[in-house]
Structure 1
Amino acid sequence: MQHMTDVTHLEEQIAHLTRVVEEMSDVVARQETALALATRRIEMLMEREAGRELEAGGSVPLADQKPPHW
């Protein structure tokens, strides 16, 4: 009967791990969506600021300039 107990225990572990993986997959999917939205918002803000810099008389927006060490 020990063999059946071992198999049952392994089945329970597999069920638990399967549930955890599914939950983690959902979390990762939500994070991917949130990150894509945040990235787009940052891009929009950078474009907006670059436009303001140009309107203020700047030559090349700072966002488009390479750092001095390049």
Structure 2
Amino acid sequence: MRDKTEAMEEQIAHLTRTVDDLSEVAARHAREIEALSRRLGMLLEREAERELDAGGTIPLADQKPPHW
């Protein structure tokens, strides 16, 4: 009975460690996603300003391809 209890305690300790590790990874990923989202927002704003400075034409991304 004692061996079984020790084995379960070891397994619980291992699973607890795994959950803690995964929690840290998820938190790091959330921070990275937040930073990348901010960068993307800045790049989109910069591109929009650049397109306006180029003469106010329709942005290339919004133009229909010539075959349409």
String of CA shifts for 1:17-62, please: whole Å, max 9, x gaps.
1011001101110110011000110110011011000100133445
Partner of 1:29: 27
| Residue in structure 2 matching 1:58, options 50, 56, 59 | 56
**Structure 1 gap segments, 5+ residues each:** none
Residues of 1 paired with 2:6 and 2:42: CA distance? 54
**TM-score, length of structure 2 as denominator length:** 0.81
Residues of 1 paired with 2:47 and 2:20: CA distance? 41
RMSD over aligned CA atoms reads: 1.7
Q: Does 1:38 align with 2:36?
A: yes
**TM-score, length of structure 1 as denominator length:** 0.79
* 3-state secondary structure, aligned to 2:43: helix
Contact preservation (8 Å) 1:53, 1:61 = yes
**Structure 2 gap segments, 5+ residues each:** none
State percent identity of aligned pairs: 48
Higher relative contact order (CA 8 A, sep 6+): 1
